[in-house]
Amino acid sequence: MIQLGVNIDHVATVRQARQDDEPDPVRAAHEAELSGADGITVHLREDRRHSQDRDVELLRKLVKVKFNLEMAATKEMVALAIRLKPHTAMLVPEGRKEVTTEGGLDVAGQLPAIKKAVSKLRDAGVFVSAFIDADLRQVEAASKAGFHVCEVHTGPYAHAFAERGGDMLDPTLTVELEEVAQAGGEILARGMRFNAGHALNYHNVYRIAGLPGISELHIGHAIVSRAVYVGLREAVRQMKELMVRAHAPVGP
């Protein structure tokens, strides 16, 4: 069954806006777990703009489902992951001026350095994931680097969905979806897990969740945004329900 990893960074974003102690992302992780989240994701950025070291330390101790740490492939972050041993360490690109992660990790362009970081994490017993664009060249490089998982960047698909009003007969949108599907097929063919994420919401998630062989989606902003209106437990429940329905086999 397809799994949902809930990214709680934007709970921390609200907290940091007031430099206060609430809302607490650790409490948010507990709420997400109670409503069916299969994993909890946080991105500990170099500039600590949302999630903080304290959050990561506590989440690693308290989360009862899969704990996924998004991180840049820096010496500091690799050392932290080796010490904390999250269930998954997902290597992502990082820029201080970006609002959110803008594009996938260029594994092909940094293969020696990325391969070294992956090797250190694997040696420490950490499952390692790469956040990459739907680019077969990057899939090949990720395989060479030794990643266990590739998470395909669904931002281009999500943006096309919004621009075309979700019209799945529109060639621009169908091309973006097919690129994700093709990347997923190549990921699976190379013996890695196929995950996806970025800019997915309650309107566009259905087609991605229904792709063959997909294991897990990581979704944060849309869930935290809906939680403002319906509460976090209900927001997580609704997303998980959509994903499971899309992923269910079609009956006779």
CA 252, CA 195: separation in Å to the nearest integer?
28
Q: Which of 10, 31, 33, 70 is catalytic?
A: 70
Q: Give the number of other CB atoms < 10 A from CB of residue 65.
A: 18
Identify whether 176 is a catalytic site residue: no
Q: Which residues contact 91 (CB under 8 A, 6 or more apart)?
A: 71, 72, 73, 105, 114, 117, 118, 128, 129, 130, 131
Identify whether 203 is a catalytic site residue: no
Identify whether 221 is a catalytic site residue: no
Q: Which of 198, 216, 218, 247 is catalytic?
A: 198
Q: Which helix (H) or strand (E) holds 53?
A: helix 53-62
Q: Token pair of 75, please?
A: 């010496």
Q: With contact defined as beta carbons under 8 Å apart, do 129 and 151 qualify? A: yes
For residues 131-153, b (16+ Cβ closer than 10 Å) or e, as one string? bbbbbeebbebbbebbbbbbbbb
CA 63, CA 131: separation in Å to the nearest integer?
22
Strands (DSSP E) contained in 18-116 are 39-43, 66-71, 88-91
CA 196, CA 217: separation in Å to the nearest integer?
5
Q: Which of 10, 31, 33, 43 is catalytic?
A: 43
Output DSSP code: residue 108. G
Q: Cα–Cα distances in Å, from 166 out to 32, 66, 146?
A: 28, 32, 36
Residues with a known catalytic role: 43, 70, 198
